[in-house]
Amino acid sequence: MSVDLATVKRVARLARIAVSEEEAERMMGELNGILGFVEQLSEVNVDGVEPMTSVTPMEMKKRIDAVSDGNKADDIVANAPNSDRNFFLVPKVVE
């Protein structure tokens, strides 16, 4: 796959980037180089290769997924003007 000058100008217009004629020609060469590298990657045989999260073998750190109240109810209501059994007491606003 290769990119021509019209495609470079169209992509630049869609990206709202102003490019001169010289810049478009330079970008065309750079984009074609990038696409050449991508085509080389498609030639690599990756059958049987597991996906990796890192280049070094490591196990991801995981925490226990447990639900808790945080054991901080007393700390949370400590500065409340009024509280009762770790609940905030607020004045009635609806009759």
Which value, in Å, is the radius of gyration of the alpha carbons in the chain? 30
Alpha-helical regions (H) of 1-95: 5-14, 21-41, 73-76
Every domain of the chain and the residues it spans: 5-41
The CATH T-level fold of domain 5-41 is Histone, subunit A (1.10.20)
Residue 86 contacts residue 77 (beta carbons within 8 Å): yes
User: What pLDDT is recorded for position 32?
Assistant: 94
Segment 29-38 shows an average pLDDT of: 93
pLDDT in tens, 17-32: 999 999 999 999 999 9
User: What pLDDT is recorded for position 18?
Assistant: 94
Q: Chain-wide mean pLDDT for the chain?
A: 89
DSSP 59: P
pLDDT of 46 over the 90 cut: no
Burial of 56 (0-12, 13-18, 19+ CB in 10 A): exposed
Give the integer Cα–Cα distance in Å for 18 and 24.
Answer: 10
